[in-house]
Chains A and B, each alone.
Chain A
Amino acid sequence: MNASLMTLEICVMALGTVLMLADFWLPDERKKFAGYAAVAALTGLLVISFSGCGACSLGGSAFNGMFVQDGLAIFFKRFFIVAAILVLFMAVEFSDRIAGGVSEYYSLIVFALSGMLFAASANDFTMLFVAIELITITFYILTSFQRGRLVSLEAGVKYLILGALSSSFMVFGIALVWGTTGKLNFNELAAVAAQFETSKIFLFGVLFILVGLGFKIAAFPFQIWAPDVYQGAPTPTTAFLAVGSKAAGFVLLLRVLFTAVPTVTAHWMNLLIVISAITILYGNLCALPQRNLKRLLGYSSIAHAGYLLLGVAALSASGQSALLYYLAGYLFTVIAAFTVICLVTRHLDNDDVSALAGLNQRSPLLASTMTLAMASLAGIPPLAGFFGKFLLLKAVLEQGAVNPGYYCLAFTALAGVVISFYYYFGVIRAIYWSKNVVDVSPIQLSGPIKVAVCICIAGMFWLGIFPTTALDMANEAAKVFGK
């Protein structure tokens, strides 16, 4: 057994426990600052993950191959830790809106992170399920954490019901796959999957597993929960849901499709193309009339799930690395947007777009952050979103010779981009050119949140202007599937 490979996970688990215990001893007015301690600890882990020593070196597996530590796993672990750090910054700012149990809120975020870290390394359906449940169940609580707000509770219940339904589909699927093949390990399954290609029960099993993962990433037709939950959940939860939970869904989707059942995936090319195209169109079209910022970003996150699926549907190494690159850009962009929403709506009881009116006078830093985030989501150079979309389109067009459907997919993606200009610019317009500005009081920003915002801005520009480093990392991670 090789448990030392799991050092990162064990440290994160320990951190979560410590945060929870700290609740007993910290005086009430200090509890808020436990979040910064968590940030510091996670930053330390992030540095260790880059050092390449011991547990973070490439290669190796534990628990009879259930847990792997390859390039893809390391890429996503860094990704999740960065996301958690930025979300914790936001959570500290949000802490005055949480009635009780601030330390619990932090520790739940950290526990969700540990689930994501396990998901990054999952190489077995058992591990996959455990990781997913660890993430989802913590998110049920995180979503309904503002017990005093009805919308938060409603969002939690909705997420619980639909999440439980999709989990049951997934368990059923895993059972069917295990029943037909007798394998749970992805590599072992890949070796025998070709024999079962004609077995309807096996195929249904794989399909049900994809239903469960489709729910996590909010792909059509399992996207129905996203807008409601995004709107109702506390803003840091929404941000973590939009970035961490979605990325966890994608890493598992990649592992299942390209490691466990690659032969089946090759037959499902058209299915993936259609799902990707519909998800893009659905997300973008539904976002058009939205006036609530978080709901708008909820639909936009569905659209982005569609763009990310372009990289899956391309069934190629360049598609996978484009997906990873796009996710990296998406991380900074979306967290930047939610941080701004979190700060702007501090004294408001709704998240309407009008809350942004006059933001350029209230806080130029937040106004430019939101503008850059929207521009990056829309895909405007020189920000991360542009280069990411460029890579995804390139990956899809490369496959055009295989199946003309890919050309249709590329055009659909473009239609989505054109539509999305409308609502992203609507947000920018609300910031700078609102007619009736009621509140012009300056927004006070604490030092740490300024740091978090600047990290997001730097990330968007860094990925857009100097993409080489991140792209090399993504290419390295995508090599896992080329073996």
Chain B
Amino acid sequence: MTTSILTYILGIPLLAAVLLVFVPGNYRVIIRAIALAATLVPMVLAIKMFCQFVTGHVGYQFEQQIPWVESLGMSYHVGVDGLNVGLVLMGAIVAFAAACCSWEIQTREKEFYILLLVMTGGILGAFASLDLFFFYAFHEFALVPTFIMIGVWGRSERKNYATFQITIYLTIGALLALIGLIALYIQSGAHTFDIPKLVEYIAANPLAAKSQNFIFPLLLFGFGILVSLWPFHSWAALGYGAAPAPTAMLHAGVLKKFGLYGLIRVALPLMPQAAQSWMQILAWLCLGNILYVGWVAMKQKNLNLLIGNSSVAHMGFIFLGIASLNLIGVTGAVLVMIAHGFLAALTFALSGYIYQKTGTLQISELGGLCRPLRFIGVTLLMAAMAGCGLPGFANFVGEVTVFFGAWQVPSLRVVTVLAVWGALIIGAVYMTRAVRNVLHGPVPEKWSKLADATDVWRKLPYALLLVSLLVFGFVPSLLTDKIVPDAKKMVQMANPVSDKPGAVAVSEIPNLKSALPN
């Protein structure tokens, strides 16, 4: 089998990280050039892969498998289908944007770029892996640099506390998921960590209900903690508030989606019965994200904490899409994952720029920034509009699809109504309020001389992310056509019995295209 393009996408950042170890720390330009090149090339390759992906084809493409530990059934196995092709693309674009935004790092640049590249390789590896062991190990590999980056390059006086909290929460989450994954391997009896084989084996020999009821909560809450599911969310806003912008972009934008992807890829299709019984609970927990954390976001006085909380709130929509367990809902969930990745990266990049220039993110001290910072201000305005779910941005498509999907499930209708309310009212309140206080109004004297991002290189990361949001907002079929066939297969596995009240049989779901706005 030839080397898959995915191996290059995840291998180049890792190799570049090793290379950087041998570059002397005072060659700053070279270090930055290597880091940019090592994220640019994977991005170009990811775009190429996305374009070459054969739409409408069920199953994995760009596969590569190398046996690793055969006695345990482990292999290095990468591949993409509709569920993760968009995520790999999003991850690669955000990684490049994060590397571009890293000019804000002025101290110990070499170490920072090494960690950034390790994190990038780990993230892309986690999304591309089709082997449970590598899936987990790559995630862990990306997680550890996050802690170090927040601890060392973080800002605000509470960074030690934030590092401490994010480390404990995420380590516990990851380890719970690890126990769940190992238990899944053992209970399945398939003697393989290979996801496609495991799916096939379990489709033929379903897991006993007892094991499902033991393993599913481990995965749900393990992954849930990683995604800041309410009430395990308190690490998120604080951690992102203290993190340097590139780290927050990569974590909030991409790495956090690992837990959601794990639920969709592993937990739902392999443990359908347990999934059915837990989804009702998950739906109510996601209201905690949407309503409670949304309310918390309204109260924030710091721009970064506001963005962090809003990012936690957005996770609620993805959980709602997953909880609906039908084709439209899951498709919407994947769409929101991708859209939110771009959005979170964009907002954290912009707040990083403002912090860099002003040295503060207290909303009360900012104001009228649209005048000195034209480009940054307008971009932030558009990002805020995307966050409210304005049509034209990818977030709107995803969220509206999630709501359509959730509405299909009669028992989730109350939740859906509340969630829509949360999305439209609460989201709009805190976003427009932030826009008014930060961008409009009189300019304080001290900010009137702020330098805007003028040259192309400075504008590039923001433009790239914004364009991505708009492209997928106007032409969502680029994504939906790829997602639907594989989502359908996944939903069929997760709904083995359609006679259960509340579960909508797949055949009854109307054509997705007619449900979409454009």
Whether both chains belong to one complex is answered with yes
Q: Spell out A's residues near B (CB within 8 Å).
A: 368, 375, 380-382, 386, 390, 393-394, 397-398, 400, 410-411, 414, 417-418, 421-422, 425, 428-429, 432-433, 467-468, 471-472, 475
Given contacts A418-B168, A429-B151, A467-B69, contact A394 B141 (CB under 8 A): no
Are B183's CB and A468's CB within 8 A?
A: no
Which B residue's beta carbon lies closest to that of A398? B186
Are B175's CB and A397's CB within 8 A?
A: no
Are B71's CB and A386's CB within 8 A?
A: no
Are A400's CB and B183's CB within 8 A?
A: yes
Which residues of B sit under 8 angstroms from A380, Cβ to Cβ? 140-141, 144
Which residues of B sit under 8 angstroms from A382, Cβ to Cβ? 137, 141
How distant is A475 from chain B, measured CB to nearest CB, in Å? 7
How distant is A63 from chain B, measured CB to nearest CB, in Å? 35
Are B71's CB and A394's CB within 8 A?
A: no
Which A residue's beta carbon lies closest to that of B163? A425
Which residues of A sit under 8 angstroms from B499, Cβ to Cβ? none
Q: Which of A368, A381, A414, A475 is packed against the most chain B CB atoms within 10 Å?
A: A381
Assembly CA distance A421 to B171 (angstroms)? 9
Assembly CA distance A382 to B68 (angstroms)? 13
Are B69's CB and A468's CB within 8 A?
A: yes
Are B179's CB and A397's CB within 8 A?
A: yes
Given contacts A394-B186, A421-B171, contact A414 B179 (CB under 8 A): yes
Which A residue's beta carbon lies closest to that of B168? A418
Choose from B72, B167, B182 the contact partner of A397 (Cβ within 8 Å): B182
Assembly CA distance A254 to B97 (angstroms)? 54
Are A381's CB and B141's CB within 8 A?
A: yes
Are B171's CB and A411's CB within 8 A?
A: no
Which B residue's beta carbon lies closest to that of A360? B111
> Is B393 at the interface (CB under 8 A from chain A)?
no
11 contacts between A and B (CB under 8 A): A382-B137, A390-B133, A393-B178, A393-B182, A418-B168, A421-B167, A425-B148, A432-B108, A433-B151, A468-B70, A475-B71
Are A472's CB and B140's CB within 8 A?
A: no
Which residues of B sit under 8 angstroms from A472, Cβ to Cβ? 71
How many residues of B are counted as interface, with CB atoms below 8 angstroms from the partner's CB atoms? 30
> Is B366 at the interface (CB under 8 A from chain A)?
no
How distant is B102 from chain A, measured CB to nearest CB, in Å? 18
Assembly CA distance A433 to B138 (angstroms)? 26
Are A397's CB and B186's CB within 8 A?
A: yes
Are A432's CB and B111's CB within 8 A?
A: yes
Which residues of B sit under 8 angstroms from A417, Cβ to Cβ? 171, 175
How many interface contacts (CB-CB < 8 Å) are there between A and B?
66
Assembly CA distance A386 to B171 (angstroms)? 13
Which residues of B sit under 8 angstroms from A422, Cβ to Cβ? 167
Assembly CA distance A397 to B183 (angstroms)? 6
Chain B contact residues: over half helix, strand or loop, or mixed? helix
Which residues of A sit under 8 angstroms from B168, Cβ to Cβ? 418
Q: Which of A386, A394, A472 is packed against the most chain B CB atoms within 10 Å?
A: A394
> Is B243 at the interface (CB under 8 A from chain A)?
no
> Is B152 at the interface (CB under 8 A from chain A)?
yes
How distant is A430 from chain B, measured CB to nearest CB, in Å? 13
> Is B472 at the interface (CB under 8 A from chain A)?
no
> Is B113 at the interface (CB under 8 A from chain A)?
no
Which residues of B sit under 8 angstroms from A468, Cβ to Cβ? 68-71
Chain A contact residues: over half helix, strand or loop, or mixed? helix
5 more contacts with CB within 8 A, not counting A414-B178, A468-B68, are A390-B133, A394-B185, A428-B148, A432-B152, A468-B71
How distant is A479 from chain B, measured CB to nearest CB, in Å? 13
How distant is A33 from chain B, measured CB to nearest CB, in Å? 32
Which A residue's beta carbon lies closest to that of B122? A381
Assembly CA distance A429 to B70 (angstroms)? 37
Contact with A along B163-197 (1 / 0, CB 8 A): 00001100110011011001101100000000000
Assembly CA distance A468 to B72 (angstroms)? 10
Assembly CA distance A418 to B147 (angstroms)? 13
Assembly CA distance A448 to B147 (angstroms)? 35
How distant is B237 from chain A, measured CB to nearest CB, in Å? 22
Which residues of A sit under 8 angstroms from B186, Cβ to Cβ? 394, 397-398, 400
Q: Which 8 pairs show the lowest CB-CB distances between chains A and B?
A: A381-B137, A414-B175, A418-B171, A394-B182, A381-B141, A398-B186, A397-B182, A381-B140
Which residues of B sit under 8 angstroms from A411, Cβ to Cβ? 179
Q: Spell out B's residues near A (CB within 8 Å).
A: 21, 68-72, 108, 111, 133, 137-138, 140-141, 144, 147-148, 151-152, 167-168, 171-172, 175-176, 178-179, 182-183, 185-186
Which residues of B sit under 8 angstroms from A429, Cβ to Cβ? 151
Which A residue's beta carbon lies closest to that of B24? A364
Which A residue's beta carbon lies closest to that of B164? A422
Which residues of A sit under 8 angstroms from B152, Cβ to Cβ? 432-433
How distant is B19 from chain A, measured CB to nearest CB, in Å? 15
Choose from B21, B71, B151 the contact partner of A471 (Cβ within 8 Å): B71
Given contacts A381-B141, A386-B137, A429-B151, contact A418 B175 (CB under 8 A): yes
How distant is A402 from chain B, measured CB to nearest CB, in Å? 12
Assembly CA distance A397 to B144 (angstroms)? 25
Which residues of B sit under 8 angstroms from A368, Cβ to Cβ? 21
Are A386's CB and B179's CB within 8 A?
A: no
Which A residue's beta carbon lies closest to that of B210? A401
Which B residue's beta carbon lies closest to that of A420? B171
Assembly CA distance A38 to B185 (angstroms)? 46
Assembly CA distance A468 to B147 (angstroms)? 31
Assembly CA distance A390 to B183 (angstroms)? 12
Assembly CA distance A381 to B72 (angstroms)? 17
Which residues of B sit under 8 angstroms from A414, Cβ to Cβ? 172, 175-176, 178-179
How distant is A376 from chain B, measured CB to nearest CB, in Å? 12
Are B167's CB and A410's CB within 8 A?
A: no
Are B69's CB and A418's CB within 8 A?
A: no
How distant is B161 from chain A, measured CB to nearest CB, in Å? 13
Which residues of A sit under 8 angstroms from B69, Cβ to Cβ? 467-468, 471
Which residues of A sit under 8 angstroms from B140, Cβ to Cβ? 380-381, 386
Are B179's CB and A410's CB within 8 A?
A: yes
Which A residue's beta carbon lies closest to that of B180? A397
Which residues of A sit under 8 angstroms from B185, Cβ to Cβ? 394
Which A residue's beta carbon lies closest to that of B140? A381
Which residues of B sit under 8 angstroms from A471, Cβ to Cβ? 69, 71-72
Are A418's CB and B182's CB within 8 A?
A: no
Q: Which of B147, B152, B178 is packed against the most chain A CB atoms within 10 Å?
A: B178
Q: Which of B141, B172, B186 is packed against the most chain A CB atoms within 10 Å?
A: B186
Assembly CA distance A422 to B148 (angstroms)? 12
Which residues of A sit under 8 angstroms from B108, Cβ to Cβ? 432
Which residues of A sit under 8 angstroms from B171, Cβ to Cβ? 417-418, 421
Which residues of B sit under 8 angstroms from A425, Cβ to Cβ? 147-148, 151, 167
How distant is B480 from chain A, measured CB to nearest CB, in Å? 35
Which B residue's beta carbon lies closest to that of A414? B175
Q: Which of A380, A390, A411 is packed against the most chain B CB atoms within 10 Å?
A: A390
Which A residue's beta carbon lies closest to that of B133? A390
Which residues of B sit under 8 angstroms from A398, Cβ to Cβ? 186
Assembly CA distance A422 to B164 (angstroms)? 8
How distant is B132 from chain A, measured CB to nearest CB, in Å? 11
How distant is A455 from chain B, measured CB to nearest CB, in Å? 19
Which residues of B sit under 8 angstroms from A386, Cβ to Cβ? 137, 140
Which residues of A sit under 8 angstroms from B70, Cβ to Cβ? 468
Assembly CA distance A39 to B138 (angstroms)? 38
Which B residue's beta carbon lies closest to that of A393? B182
How distant is A434 from chain B, measured CB to nearest CB, in Å? 12
Assembly CA distance A394 to B140 (angstroms)? 17
Assembly CA distance A425 to B168 (angstroms)? 12
How distant is B85 from chain A, measured CB to nearest CB, in Å? 25
Which residues of A sit under 8 angstroms from B71, Cβ to Cβ? 468, 471-472, 475
Assembly CA distance A418 to B172 (angstroms)? 7
Assembly CA distance A72 to B168 (angstroms)? 38
Assembly CA distance A411 to B175 (angstroms)? 9
How distant is A225 from chain B, measured CB to nearest CB, in Å? 31
Which B residue's beta carbon lies closest to that of A399? B186
Assembly CA distance A381 to B179 (angstroms)? 16
Which residues of B sit under 8 angstroms from A418, Cβ to Cβ? 168, 171-172, 175
Assembly CA distance A400 to B182 (angstroms)? 11
Assembly CA distance A375 to B133 (angstroms)? 19
